[in-house]
Every structure is written in structure tokens, then in C-alpha cells.
Amino acid sequence: MRRWNGWGEEGVEAPLPDRARDLLVQLVGAGSPTVDAGLEDVVASVPPSRLVAEDAWTTDARDRVLHARGQSLPDWVALRSGRLERVPDAVARPTSAAEVRAVLDRAAARGARVIPYGGATSVVGGVTVRPGEAPIVSVDLVGTAGIRSLDETSGLATFGAGTTGPALEAALEPFGRTLGHYPQSFERSTVGGWVVTRSAGQESSGVGRIEALFAGGHVEAPVGPLDLPTHPASAAGPDLRQLVLGSEGRLGILTDVAVRTSLVPQASRVNAFVMRDWDAALALARTLAQRRLLLSMVRVATPLETATTLALVGDGRSQAMLRRYLGWRGLGPDRERCLVLVGLSGATPVVDAAAGEVAKAVKALHGIGTPGVGRAWRRDRFKAPNLRDTLWAAGYAVDTLETAIDWSGLPALAAELGRTLRHGLEDVDERVHAFSHLSHVYPTGTSLYSTYVFRISPDPDETLDRWRRLKRAASEVVVSHGGTISHQHGVGTDHAPYLAAEKGPLGMVALDAVVHAFDPDGLLSPGVLLGERA
């Protein structure tokens, strides 16, 4: 059973090797574990619903607690401490577009607000129920899950928006087809959630981000329905799919999602390399991206992330052997090395040819292949988030933030972001371990994905204050360097204050107007995307 207040399965602990624990104690200090609130106690303390139960929704207290929060750090603090502030007043589970319509109409008639709820993996406060006057209905799309149709000739498949990653791939597999969209939250997030948050999968360099895979579908907006046809391409004015992509539930509820599938690739693999330092790793990433080789992934860890990753995986002996081998091959000092993962996917001869080109580029920059590391990464790629549970239990909070920037702006942004996070809690006498990788590279630039670890305080407000200081300082650095406030996690409520810096005054007026056209009375997702302004 899934944990109600974390990420992984109940009772399944991701092991934290002793040397990783020692490293954390050395870097941020000994963690002091806190006691989690129990689900039953939280349920018992929930205030009565401001709505009455009806056909369209339930007001069951347990259901309401389980729909109150997502996966952001403030969500975790609230769930672990049992201080939820607010829970929805009702939970609806419509199974079709018609039922979604009925819920919207009923909520509007009752003066309630609606929060669409997919897999609740939002890490930016997208599904968080926040204080406010109006009652809240959480619309859980789980009831829409499943494949609706498959046009094998065109490769188009239509799914209910609440279909999770594994269910979607399982439905395509018997037809020899795949979507190939693998965000790290793949096991829990939904196809509808991917579209409205503009999600990026780990192998998006090959198949494209969700923008490229989203062919069309159906939206129920407060003012009425919107159908998006699945034309392969069109010059008929602005593409309305682009309004729905990134709309984060503000325009309407996406009920049906048509996606562009492809044939399951003949060959798929991840090759790992170690480069002598950050400059060599960056040069490799740029070369691979700009040569437009058919790669599904290029992922480049900074020296600090490389050291942290290696401390977390494998046993001490195999680590020592790998280090000796790299030293013997003349790969420079341990602390400067960078791990690069390259994904290859497609027809076998094409994959082989691309692998050969990658190997040549690595060799030209004096890097070394490390067989086995890529395979292990692929095998465990959805397990890493389980460590968040383990670290919390050991007294440490982990959060991530991400951006994208042109290549020319990357070095300065990466350096200042790292410094800002590492020194961000000095005035409260706390230390932060922060490290980064490039998770997606493009010909003209790259994403930058940072993870930061700090100690939890026995006082949940103090933990939240530590997070707020770090998040605010890091977001300001991103914006001041001209990076986007999000490459893949979306805006939610946490990034809403920074959106105007990116879109500009006219851009914000245009977004307000679009939201107003779809949802004139502000029925949907208060505070998400546009903050309090609309």
C-alpha cells in the first residue's frame, strides 16, 4: 500500500548505506528524526465538511485527508506533522467527461471551487488545498483511467486522463507500441497530469517532451467543452493544444488524452561514462546535443552529484575498485570526476551507429566508459525517490528544483545556484548539501536539476521556514540569470510569484484573459499558475 504521507510503499525502506549516512553527518550534521502523525489521528481531527454528500461526491473524512496534499516539501511537512491546514470538503471520482461536467456544474451551483487531482505527484503545490472561504471539491480522475481507443494505422491512442504511466504502457504493449514518456514519477503520475504540467520524461530527447506526444483530446471547462483534433500538423492559426499544455487545471479538466505512440524500439540502452572534470563533461554534452545524434537521453552529473550518487549505490568494495580502475586509466582526481549517462533507443543498427559516435566523442575528450553503471541506473531509475522517505526518517528533508537556460548562461547560473543553496541557511546555523545534474540537453541549452538536503527541525514551522528561505533565494537566482522558473515541474502555487518575470506584463494579461474566457467565475484551482491575480 502506498504511504499516505510520503512517496514509496508502506514498509518498503530504501537502504541508506552507512557511508552515505556518514557523508550526510559530515556535510549537514546529525539528523534528529521526528515522530510522524498517524493517519487515524489526522482523520479524527478533520473539521466537518461544508458540503453535503451527494451522488457526485463523498464527504468521507479519510478520503478528504488523502486528497489534501501532493508531493511538495510544504506538503510533506504538513503530512508528516499532521498539520494539514485545510482538506477538501468533498472528493469526486467521475468516470467520464459527462460526469466531470456534472461535477463542475454541481460545484458551481454550491459556490464551491474545484481542484483537479491526477496522480498528486505535483511538487509545486498544484493539488494542495489552501485556506480560503469557498468549499473545495477535489476531482480525482482515477475513475477515467484506461485506454479508450487505439488507431493502429495512425499510431494514435486515446486514454482517460487519470491513466498512470504503467497502466498506459501496459495497454500499448500487446500492440507492440509505446509512448516512451518516463518522468521519474512515472509509476504514480497520470497522462492528464503530464499534459497540463508540460512534463518531461527521462528519455524525452528521443521521443520528445509531452508537448510532442500530446495529439489532442477533450477538455471540460466551466463555460463548456473543448475538443482538440489530432491533426499531425496544422497551419490553421494558433494551436489550441498549446493552451491546454501547461494550463495546470486553470482552464478546465482534461478528460481524454490522445497520444502519439511509436513502435517499441528494437534496442534500448543506457551507456555510462566518466569524464575527468565538469568542463569536459559540459563539452561532451554540448557536442552530443549539437551534433543531433539520435539519443534518448543525455544526463550529466556535477562532481558533487557524482560523488553523492556513488556513495548511495553499490557496496564499498565495488566503489573502491571503480575508483582504482578510473585512476589507473589516468582519469584525474576523484573529486573532479563527472558521471555522464547517454540513452540510446531505436532500430538496432541506428543505435549501434549512434553508440559508436558517442564513444568517439567521449574518447576525444579523454573520458572512459564504465560498463554496468548505465544498466544499474536504468534498472533502478524509479526507485531513487524512495530515498526521500528513508532520509526523512533519519531527520533530513530533501527537495529538488530545476530550470533551463541557454548554454552560454549555464556556468554562471549553476555556480551561483550551488553557492546560494549551500550557504542559504547559514544565518540560522544550518548547513545544506546541494548538488546538480543536467537532466535534458538541447542544441541551444540545457536543463539544470538541483537536489538539496537539510536537517528537519522538531518544529514543523521551522522546517518550513528553512525550506522557504532556500526556495526563495534559489528562485531569485534562477530568475535573475534569465533561467525559466521550471523546465518540467510546472508552476503550481510555489512558482506562481515568479511567472510574471518570465512572461512579461502583456504575457500575463493574455494568460489572465484566456483563463477568464474558460473560467470566468474562477471555479478551478484557486492560486495555481497565476497566483492570487486570477
Ligand X SMILES: Cc1cc2nc3c(=O)[nH]c(=O)nc-3n(C[C@H](O)[C@H](O)[C@H](O)COP(=O)(O)OP(=O)(O)OC[C@H]3O[C@@H](n4cnc5c(N)ncnc54)[C@H](O)[C@@H]3O)c2cc1C
Residues lying near ligand X in the complex (CB under 6 A) are found at 7, 70-71, 115-123, 126-127, 141, 161, 183-185, 189-190, 192-194, 196-197, 199-200, 248-249, 253-254, 385, 488-490, 525, 528
Closest separation in Å from C-beta 249 to ligand X: 3
The amino acid that residue 363 corresponds to is K
Phi/psi at 281 (nearest 5 deg)?
-65, -40
Closest separation in Å from C-beta 360 to ligand X: 29
- Please give the Cα distance from 32 to 53 (Å, whole number): 42
Name the pairing type of β-strands 214-221 and 253-260: antiparallel
Q: Which is nearer to ligand X, 346 or 385 (CB)?
A: 385
Rg over CA atoms, the chain = 23
Q: Which is nearer to ligand X, 34 or 189 (CB)?
A: 189
Q: How many CB atoms lie within 10 A of CB 304?
A: 20
Q: Which is nearer to ligand X, 201 or 424 (CB)?
A: 201
Q: Which is nearer to ligand X, 36 or 211 (CB)?
A: 211
Q: Which is nearer to ligand X, 190 or 457 (CB)?
A: 190
DSSP 421: H
Q: Which is nearer to ligand X, 141 or 172 (CB)?
A: 141
Smallest Cα–Cα separation from 192: which of 229, 146, 224, 230? Answer: 146
Closest separation in Å from C-beta 125 to ligand X: 8
Q: Which is nearer to ligand X, 115 or 207 (CB)?
A: 115
SS3 435: strand
Q: Could you tell me the CA-to-CA distances from 505 to 216, 318, 405, 502, 509 in Å, in that order?
A: 29, 55, 21, 9, 6
Contact 135, 157 (CB under 8 A): no
* Residue 277 cell numbers, joined: 572534470
Closest separation in Å from C-beta 122 to ligand X: 3
CA atoms lying within 13 Å on the CB side of residue 54:
11
Q: Which is nearer to ligand X, 425 or 436 (CB)?
A: 436
Closest separation in Å from C-beta 429 to ligand X: 30
330 sits in the region (left: phi over 0; alpha: psi -120 to 50; else beta) called left
In Å, the largest CA–CA distance within the chain is 72
Q: Which is nearer to ligand X, 147 or 368 (CB)?
A: 147
Q: Which is nearer to ligand X, 329 or 516 (CB)?
A: 516
Name the pairing type of β-strands 177-178 and 368-369: unpaired
Closest separation in Å from C-beta 318 to ligand X: 26
Tell me whether residue 350 is exposed, middle or buried, using C-beta atoms within 10 angstroms of its C-beta: 0 to 12, 13 to 18, 19 or more. middle
Q: Computed from CA positions of residues 344, 350, 356, 360, in that sequence, does the dihedral angle turn out positive or negative?
A: negative
Closest separation in Å from C-beta 250 to ligand X: 8
SS3 341: strand
Contact 248, 492 (CB under 8 A): yes
Closest separation in Å from C-beta 426 to ligand X: 28
Closest separation in Å from C-beta 73 to ligand X: 11
Q: Which residue is nearest to ligand X (CB)?
A: 193
Q: Which is nearer to ligand X, 161 or 288 (CB)?
A: 161
Closest separation in Å from C-beta 140 to ligand X: 9
- Please give the Cα distance from 182 to 166 (Å, whole number): 10
For helices 460-480 and 410-423, angle between their N-to-C axes, nearest 10 degrees: 160
Closest separation in Å from C-beta 258 to ligand X: 13
Q: Which is nearer to ligand X, 199 or 457 (CB)?
A: 199
Closest separation in Å from C-beta 488 to ligand X: 4
Q: Which is nearer to ligand X, 7 or 452 (CB)?
A: 7
Closest separation in Å from C-beta 189 to ligand X: 4
Tell me whether residue 202 is exposed, middle or buried, using C-beta atoms within 10 angstroms of its C-beta: 0 to 12, 13 to 18, 19 or more. buried
Q: Could you tell me the CA-to-CA distances from 72 to 160, 298, 467 in Å, in that order?
A: 25, 26, 11
DSSP result, 172-209: HGGGTEE-----TTTTT-BHHHHHHTT---TTHHHH--
